[in-house]
Amino acid sequence: MYEERRSARVPAVVWSLTAGVRQQRVLPDGCTDLIWDGTELVVAGPDTRAHLPAARPGTRYTALRFPPGTGPDVFRVPARELRDRRLPLAALRPAAEIRRLAERAAEAADPAGVLERAAAEALRGADPADPRRAAVVAGLRAGLPVAEVAGRTGLGARGLHRLSLAAFGYGPKTLARILRMNRALDLARAGRPLAETAVLAGYTDQAHLTRDVRTLTGLPPTRLLAPPPSG
């Protein structure tokens, strides 16, 4: 069963999941996650394609999902170094520090609270966030062309690309595709027909939407949105 809530301590979504027999498909969303699997703290970087984790049924996961551009401030590494990767948090921070954090998570009735406090402490010690990151995400999420976003932020094409690699893990065109796909899937889940969804999300047509979703997730939207088999 999957559950989520917005954190009151840090800019993140707190989520939990007990793995079942059916494999979960993790879709690219531009986010970075800090995951506690009961024994280890793992960082999941921003994906360019769907990820199919090898989860043992019954494993309980508790995690924080940081929105695009926030992960580098928490983990103190450029997002491009985390792209399409799952790695132990101890590979990024001092091993003794992470061992103590894992011990607290293991002993806590609410591991999410332990993760939230650790993330809040990391963010307090980080440099002030570059406000252009939020402007880039807002512009791309609104469907603005990359060139217009570059102009509005005063970065220029090369500057926007450098900032995007460091903050989001990939260039602005890839981030725009991922944000557009997630908007389309949200519209479709809310009951919009796919043809209407394609127009509202900024695709040329439904065929364009289908191709892009298949490329990014490995499945066409009809299969991706189908309810899981019962039993």
Split at pLDDT 50, 70, 90, the class of 54 is: confident
| pLDDT tens profile 29-50 | 999 999 999 999 999 999 999 9
Q: Strand, coil or helix: what is 43?
A: strand
Q: Strand, coil or helix: what is 164?
A: helix
Q: What would the CATH number be for the domain defined by 131-224?
A: 1.10.10.60
The model's pTM: 0.92
Q: What is the mean pLDDT of residues 82-94?
A: 96
Residue 92 CA: distances (Å) to CA of 13, 34, 70, 89, 200? 22, 12, 16, 5, 40
H or E segment and range at residue 111: helix 111-124
pLDDT score for 228 = 67
pLDDT score for 53 = 85
| pLDDT tens profile 131-163 | 999 999 999 999 999 999 999 999 999 999 999
Q: How many CA atoms lie within 13 A of 148 on its CB side?
A: 10
β-sheet bridge partners, residue 44: 33, 86
| pLDDT tens profile 94-132 | 999 999 999 999 999 999 999 999 999 999 988 888 899
Closest CA to 68 of 151, 149, 203, 174: 174
Q: Is 221 exposed, middle or buried (0-12, 13-18, 19+ CB in 10 A)?
A: buried
pLDDT score for 127 = 83
Q: Where are the domains of the chain?
A: 2-124, 131-224
CA Rg value for the chain: 18
Split at pLDDT 50, 70, 90, the class of 19 is: confident
